[in-house]
A and B are shown apart, each in its own frame.
Chain A
Amino acid sequence: MTAPAATPHKSFSLARVYAIGSNTLLELVRLKVFYFLLLFALLGIGVSFFTSKMTFQEQSQVLKHAALGMMSIFTWLLAVLATAMLLPKDIEERTLYTILAKPVPRLEYLLGKLTGVLALLAIALVVMVAMFTLVLYAQQQSALAAVASQLAPGPDLEAARQQVRADTFTANLVPGIALIYVKAAVCAAVTLLLSTFASSAIFTIIVSVMVFIIGHVQPIAREYLMITEKGASELARFFLGLVALLIPDMRAFTLLDDLAVAIPFELFMQTAGLGVLYVTVYFLVGYLVFAGKEL
């Protein structure tokens, strides 16, 4: 009996990335990270309670702002906290050594870890969107019933119904939610980059949170960097230049802060593209550091 022919080892395998990614996702799910969804539901109920005396338009507006804000907060926190603990946990539990002792390149390991977090963020966001849609739909049905009881059948009733529908599900919700995901993915990539050289998860979390906050004022630093006239302090320009060059522009993804404004398709695609560029470059720089890390 002859031994089966050994399959040649590939220098890069998507199957191995998938295996690491799915294991990362499983580990994170086992940490009961989805319990935050309960908090999301409770906040939804809280908002409904506080807005019970408002008009339908106000209720709908506040609910949308609050729900999208919560989605943004939760996905950001999830991205930072879940990513920051990946490498330290694997080092502490010595899983990292077991994996890297096998013919698994570090690139695949890191990519698998990032893929796992991105999958977790996608699942979390989909569940939150489903809950949000359900509440919004219930609110819409209740408003439609109220309108039907107040107006006699005719053009006025139809116009009022159309108004209710237009006030509930606005077209910019979909690109806005997609940008929430992209923003969280950028946060995950930045956190992964930080964790490749950080000595502790706490350090990674703190710096990542700071990057997130500073990232929202990065356009101001960028603006200052572009000032060419005399009078702008050189020292200030140097430091703000560093901020503009090292920190990602997080404000670019915050288009849902102006929910009333429709997001043009071209702007959405370019912003999402910028997000993908950030994720790719921060991941590659992270790999550069991780590849030479003494373990």
Chain B
Amino acid sequence: MTRRHLTALAALLVFGFVRLPIELHIEGKARAARFHGVKLDRGVFEKVGQMGFVAALSGFRAVVADAFWIHAYGVWERVDWAAMKIDFDIVTTLQPRCVLFWDNSAWHMWANASIAALEDRKQPRAALRLKAQREYWRLGEDYLLRGIANNPDSAKLHTSLGSLYRDRFQDHAKAAEVYARGAALPDAPVYLHRFAAYELAKCPGREREAYEKLLAFYRKGEDEHLPTLLKHLGELQEKLNVPADQKVNTSPPPAKP
């Protein structure tokens, strides 16, 4: 090794010290913008294998995740739900900021796998089929909850979780709560506000709260006089014994020519 080589090495070390604070600053900014959030640890290694792990480490995490997503579709054609879940776990671990992966993984579990479990001809006992169906709902719920934990700003995941509580678990209080949280997000669709109120209307003891919310929508104008809103409002007026002079007209508007 010549003197020049040693000088070059020393220059690289000095540059290393100079750039450390710059790198730390950029790393901090990236983390604040929610980048580099994935911890590639032993758990990921066991899931993706040696090659996948090296590829993920080398900056090709998204490509590895996509390869497993494509693989999951192949597994879906063979109707192997357990293998699909393994693939979904890998994909969501590698791409926790991708809402689509969380949403679709959840959907495959609570919709497709749960129906397959309910109609499983190999299982003669209906009680066990129903139990399996509920377990798949729980798996779907788990994906959505973890998806929301990683993407708290996603109205899409809140919508899906609210619909899961509403349509499958029939848990209207939870559905109302999730819809309301989703409705507060910047990219929330307009209907999410109404959905929260509709679900609240189905919760015993919270009729007054639901009525106030629905009434507020009603008073916004004719565009909000939607059939479901009018139906819930009419039912609540009866339930809450709203005086006749305070009742609003909940009969459906005449059809436009």
| Interface set of A (CB-CB < 8 Å, partner B) | 50-51, 53-55, 57-58, 61-62, 65-66, 68-70, 72-73, 183, 197, 212-213, 216-217, 219, 222, 225-226, 244-246, 249-264, 266-267, 270-271, 274, 277-278, 281, 284-285, 288-289, 291-292
Contacts and interface: CB of A to CB of B under 8 A. Distances in A.
Contacts of A256: 62
A264 B59 contact: no
A222 B24 contact: yes
Contacts of A261: 33-35, 97
Q: Which of A68, A69, A222, A292 has the most CB of B within 10 A?
A: A69
B57 A217 contact: yes
4 smallest A-B Cβ distances: which pairs?
A245-B16, A69-B63, A254-B59, A292-B4
Contact of B13 (A245, A255, A264): A245
Contact of B29 (A55, A213, A267, A281): A267
User: What is the predominant secondary structure among interface residues of chain A facing chain B?
Assistant: helix
A212 B25 contact: no
Given A53-B73, A69-B63, A277 B33 contact: no
B19 interface: yes
B26 A58 contact: no
Given A197-B5, A261-B97, 7 more contacts: A50-B70, A61-B66, A213-B58, A216-B58, A258-B36, A267-B30, A277-B22
A212 B60 CA distance: 12
Contacts of A226: 24
Contacts of B65: 65
Interface string B34-71: 11110000000000000000100111111101100110
A257 B61 contact: yes
Nearest to B101: A61
Nearest to B54: A213
A256 B16 CA distance: 25
A58 B104 contact: yes
A292 B2 contact: yes
Contact of B33 (A216, A222, A254, A263): A263
Nearest to A259: B62
A65 B66 contact: yes
Interface of B: 2, 4-5, 7-8, 11-13, 15-17, 19-20, 22-27, 29-30, 33-37, 54, 57-63, 65-66, 69-70, 73, 95, 97-100, 104
Given A61-B100, A267-B26, A267-B30, A289 B57 contact: no
Contacts of A244: 16, 20
B98 A259 contact: yes
A15 B183 CA distance: 61
A66 B73 contact: no
A288 B57 contact: no
A152 to B, nearest CB: 16
Contact of B63 (A65, A217, A251, A289): A65
Contacts of B33: 261-264, 267
A125 B57 CA distance: 23
23 contacts: A57-B100, A61-B100, A65-B65, A65-B66, A66-B63, A66-B66, A72-B59, A213-B54, A216-B59, A217-B57, A226-B24, A245-B16, A245-B17, A256-B62, A258-B35, A260-B95, A260-B98, A264-B29, A267-B26, A271-B26, A285-B12, A288-B8, A289-B8
A148 to B, nearest CB: 21
A245 B15 CA distance: 7
Contacts of B97: 258, 260-261
A217 B45 CA distance: 14
B232 to A, nearest CB: 23
A53 B77 CA distance: 10
A68 B8 contact: no
B58 A252 contact: no
B73 A54 contact: yes
A62 B69 contact: yes
A183 B60 CA distance: 13
Contacts of A262: 33
Contacts of B13: 245-246
Contact of A258 (B34, B66, B100): B34
